[in-house]
Amino acid sequence: MFGWLKGASKNDPLYLEGEGDFSFEIVGESYYQDVLGSIAGPKTEDSKEVFCEALLVCEPDNPHDSNAVAVLISNKKVGHLSRIDALAFHKSMAKRFKDVPLVKVDAVIVGGWLRDDSEGSFGVKLDL
């Protein structure tokens, strides 16, 4: 799941290259709808598909899960990896690194439609 890492330099996040399918779901986007709207733009009649980069940032002080991994787009939190995925992320990084690094991945913000009969929330999918 957490495959090929490429580091640009010592201080840069490591880039995790996916397969281009953007099928990796995150959780908690419902708490960040305003943030996602500020990044993706206002809701429109058609669903959005905004390609961007996301940072995966460990949150060891998270009161709900010491293994929490936040997902940031444009330096704003937009959700988290699920508990199971966050644990797998930590295990995968621990095999390669002394400390879990910042990881950059390709992402897409989806949804965000507004029609007379329905409204869609924003979601985020990662290319992992």
pLDDT digits (tens, 9 = 90+) for 90-111: 888 888 887 777 899 999 999 9
* 3 found inside a domain: no
- Reading the block at residue 94, the tokens are 């621990």
* 68 found inside a domain: yes
The total domain count for the chain is: 1
| pTM (2 d.p.) | 0.88
Helix (H, G, I), strand (E, B) or coil at 58: strand
Q: What is the pLDDT of residues 8-51, one digit of tens each?
A: 445 678 999 999 999 999 999 999 999 999 999 999 999 999 99
Q: Quick one: pLDDT band at residue 1, thresholds 50, 70, 90?
A: low
Q: Would you state the pLDDT for residue 120? A: 95
* 82 found inside a domain: yes
The boundaries of the domain holding residue 31 are 13-126
Question: Residue 117 sits in a domain of what CATH number?
Answer: 3.30.70
* pLDDT score of 5 more than 70: no
* 104 found inside a domain: yes
Q: Are 37 and 29 in contact (CB under 8 A)?
A: no
Q: Would you state the pLDDT for residue 8? A: 45
* 49 found inside a domain: yes
Phi, psi of 96 (to 5 degrees): -105, -30
* pLDDT score of 70 more than 70: yes
* 6 found inside a domain: no
DSSP per-residue letters across 45-73: SSPEEEEEEEEEEE-TT-SS-TT-EEEEE
Q: Which of 27, 111, 128 is nearest to 71 (CA)?
A: 27
